[in-house]
């Protein structure tokens, strides 16, 4: 039987209102989606693309023990409020306050938030009772939901915090009140929402320091061009500084990163002491990611040995560098799935990683549009021709109106195929893939790069042969 997350008395105290005449009860989870609701959950009826109140009856049918809604539903247990989202926020704060001894971390940045958050969580789990965001629950709903799901006996927790506009991180970090806050990097992401471009993005990311607990730690990328701005904002918030990067003077300094088959070996200096350790990642950006993870774990009172063990067993997440062998008749090719998201920084890193890889066959890159880049979007796409040249990529397939700028900038010898949409491009890539190839698929989630990765995965003949 699942452990009680909240009792009815705790919920009533946290929320300050109650309806129904049910006997005392407990809930074992918090849900905002009946598709993933588990028996025993508290269902929060939020208004979004669909009004959650349409699904309250379904929630009870699936076994919800109570509901937060803006209208009463008979005598069944629940909590009535004009604003269910505000109630979820109150519940999140109550969860933070009742787990008063828990060390909390917050992760933001233009690239790598989710993977780094989950890598930190892997280390926290080795050290004790831990809690974290699931998937990319990093917005005005995901953060309070993650807090509300935090068990009372949590010892350490890490939260991913994202944004599309200024003033979005500020209320979320004040809700979390982290003891350590990390900015992975700042790049040209969501720049269409910032009149001053990357500088505005950097200032928005720096909002994460405003919620730091007194004496909290700021973990910053010293290699990033916005380091000085971020450092100034962190110091203004009274943070202790920890830095990672490739240069001397960094608390966690990356010396070398070498791919070795399906993993890599990281050489580093951690507070001046040499470290060599393996990780189950091949992306070159994981050298610096590993440095950031170790500093965050240290700030959350996790032993270095646990941190290294976590990095040594943490596998790439789906759509974020996960690899699989796709068996064809006559051989197989390697599919690298980077389809979850893309921006100029992560694109350049992924292409460079592919270029450094040893491959028996061709290196093929399949790209879909990078979104939310503002007026420079076409130029950002065309400029990818340079890293593709440096990486000696054999063929490039591109989809989308923005990727047309890259397509036009490519030499004819590198052109594999172009289509207006990912769905139209997929068959071209399927026909092109041959045994020995390494095929990387990358693009923004909104431009449907995942459709192409899924189509390539379905080429695998093993499931059919198993019958």
Could you tell me what percent of the chain has a pLDDT over 70? 98
**Cα separation, 334 vs 325, whole angstroms:** 5
29-35 average pLDDT score: 95
Q: Which residue, among 350, 383, 386, has the nearest Cα to 365 in the 3D structure? A: 350
Three-state secondary-structure class, residue 336: strand
Answer yes or no: same fold for 6-81 and 322-466. Answer: no
317-341 average pLDDT score: 89
Alpha helices in 160-303 (DSSP H): 169-176, 198-206, 227-236, 286-299
**Cα separation, 191 vs 211, whole angstroms:** 24
On whether the CB atoms of residues 449 and 439 are closer than 8 A, the answer is no
Task: Write down the pLDDT at residue 21.
Answer: 60
316-324 average pLDDT score: 85
Domain ranges of the chain: 6-81, 99-313, 322-466
Distances in whole angstroms, Cα of residue 270 to Cα of each of 253, 296, 300, 351: 6, 13, 16, 28
Task: Write down the pLDDT at residue 459.
Answer: 95
284-309 average pLDDT score: 97
**Cα separation, 91 vs 13, whole angstroms:** 10
On whether the CB atoms of residues 324 and 440 are closer than 8 A, the answer is no
Distances in whole angstroms, Cα of residue 403 to Cα of each of 217, 382, 430, 431, 438: 40, 8, 19, 21, 21
Among 277-286, 314-323, 359-368, 406-415, which stretch is predicted with the lowest mean pLDDT? 314-323
On whether the CB atoms of residues 84 and 46 are closer than 8 A, the answer is yes
pLDDT digits (tens, 9 = 90+) for 88-147: 999 999 999 999 999 999 999 998 899 999 999 999 999 999 999 887 789 999 999 999
Sign of the CA dihedral running 391, 347, 434, 359: positive
pLDDT for residue 466 is more than 50 = no
> CATH: 3.40.50.720, 3.30.70.100, 3.40.1390.10, 3.40.640.10. Which one for 6-81?
3.40.1390.10
Helix (H) or strand (E) holding 366: strand 363-368
Among 12-21, 52-61, 135-144, 263-272, which stretch is predicted with the lowest mean pLDDT? 12-21
Beta bridge partner(s), residue 51: 47
Class (C level, CATH) for 99-313: alpha beta
74-88 average pLDDT score: 88
Looking at CATH, the fold of the domain delimited by 322-466 is given as: 3.90.190
Task: Write down the pLDDT at residue 463.
Answer: 54
* CA count, 13 A, side-chain hemisphere, 313: 10
Confidence band, pLDDT 50/70/90 cuts, at residue 19: low
**Cα separation, 128 vs 158, whole angstroms:** 13
135-149 exposure pattern, b = at least 16 Cβ within 10 A, e = fewer:
ebbbbbbbbbbbbbb
pLDDT for residue 2 is more than 80 = no
| pTM of this structure | 0.85
**Cα separation, 54 vs 45, whole angstroms:** 8
Confidence band, pLDDT 50/70/90 cuts, at residue 64: very high
The token pair at 275 is: 């470290």
Confidence band, pLDDT 50/70/90 cuts, at residue 467: very low
On whether the CB atoms of residues 58 and 20 are closer than 8 A, the answer is no
**Cα separation, 116 vs 79, whole angstroms:** 36
Task: Write down the pLDDT at residue 320.
Answer: 83
**Cα separation, 92 vs 161, whole angstroms:** 14
**If you average pLDDT over every residue of the chain, what do you get?**
92
pLDDT for residue 464 is more than 50 = no
Could you tell me what percent of the chain has a pLDDT over 90? 78
Task: Write down the pLDDT at residue 20.
Answer: 59
On whether the CB atoms of residues 403 and 377 are closer than 8 A, the answer is no
The token pair at 1 is: 């039987």
Beta bridge partner(s), residue 181: 106, 218
324-344 average pLDDT score: 91
pLDDT top residue among 164 and 261: 164
pLDDT top residue among 366 and 191: 366
pLDDT for residue 462 is more than 80 = no
Q: 10 Å Cβ neighbour count for 325?
A: 11
Three-state secondary-structure class, residue 405: helix
Q: Which residue, among 354, 321, 327, has the nearest Cα to 340 in the 3D structure? A: 321
pLDDT for residue 261 is more than 90 = no
């Amino acid at each position: 039987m699942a452990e009680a997350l909240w009792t009815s008395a705790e919920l009533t105290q946290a929320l300050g209102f109650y309806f129904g005449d049910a006997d005392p009860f407990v809930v074992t989870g918090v849900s905002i989606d009946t598709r993933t609701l588990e028996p025993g959950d508290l269902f929060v009826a939020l208004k979004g693309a669909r009004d959650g109140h349409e699904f309250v009856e379904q929630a009870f049918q699936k076994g919800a023990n109570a509901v937060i809604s803006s209208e009463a539903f008979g005598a069944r247990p629940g909590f009535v409020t004009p604003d269910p989202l505000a109630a979820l926020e109150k519940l999140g704060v109550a969860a933070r306050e009742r787990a008063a001894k828990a060390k909390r971390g917050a992760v933001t940045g233009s690239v790598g938030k989710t993977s780094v958050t989950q890598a930190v969580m892997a280390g926290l789990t080795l050290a004790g009772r831990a809690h974290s965001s699931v998937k990319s629950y990093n917005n005005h709903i995901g953060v309070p939901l993650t807090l509300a799901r935090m068990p009372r006996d949590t010892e350490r927790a890490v939260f991913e915090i994202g944004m599309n506009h200024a003033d979005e991180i500020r209320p979320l970090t004040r809700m979390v009140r982290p003891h350590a806050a990390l900015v992975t990097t700042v790049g040209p992401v969501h720049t269409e929402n910032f009149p001053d471009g990357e500088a505005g993005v950097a200032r928005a990311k720096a909002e994460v320091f405003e919620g730091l607990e007194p004496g909290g730690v700021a973990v910053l990328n010293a290699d990033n061009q916005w380091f000085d701005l971020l450092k100034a904002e962190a110091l203004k918030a009274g943070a202790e500084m920890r830095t990672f990067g490739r240069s001397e003077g960094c608390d966690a300094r990356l010396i070398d990163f070498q791919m070795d088959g399906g993993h890599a070996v990281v050489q580093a200096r951690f507070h001046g002491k040499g470290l060599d350790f393996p990780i189950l990642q091949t992306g070159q950006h994981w050298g610096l990611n590993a440095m950031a993870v170790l500093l965050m774990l240290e700030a959350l009172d996790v032993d270095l040995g646990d941190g290294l063990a976590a990095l040594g067993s943490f596998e790439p997440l789906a759509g974020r560098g996960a690899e699989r062998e796709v068996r064809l008749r006559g051989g197989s090719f390697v599919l690298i799935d980077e389809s979850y998201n893309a921006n100029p920084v992560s694109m350049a890193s992924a292409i460079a990683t592919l270029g450094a890889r040893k491959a028996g066959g061709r290196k093929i890159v399949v790209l879909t549009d990078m979104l939310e880049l503002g007026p420079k979007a076409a130029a950002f796409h065309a400029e990818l021709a340079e890293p593709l040249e440096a990486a000696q990529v054999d063929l490039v397939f591109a989809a989308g109106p923005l990727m047309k700028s890259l397509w036009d900038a490519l030499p004819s010898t590198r052109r594999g195929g172009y289509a207006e949409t990912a769905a139209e491009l997929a068959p071209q890539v399927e026909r092109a893939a041959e045994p020995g190839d390494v095929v990387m698929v990358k693009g923004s989630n909104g431009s449907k790069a995942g459709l192409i990765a899924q189509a390539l995965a379905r080429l695998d003949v093993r499931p059919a042969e198993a019958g």
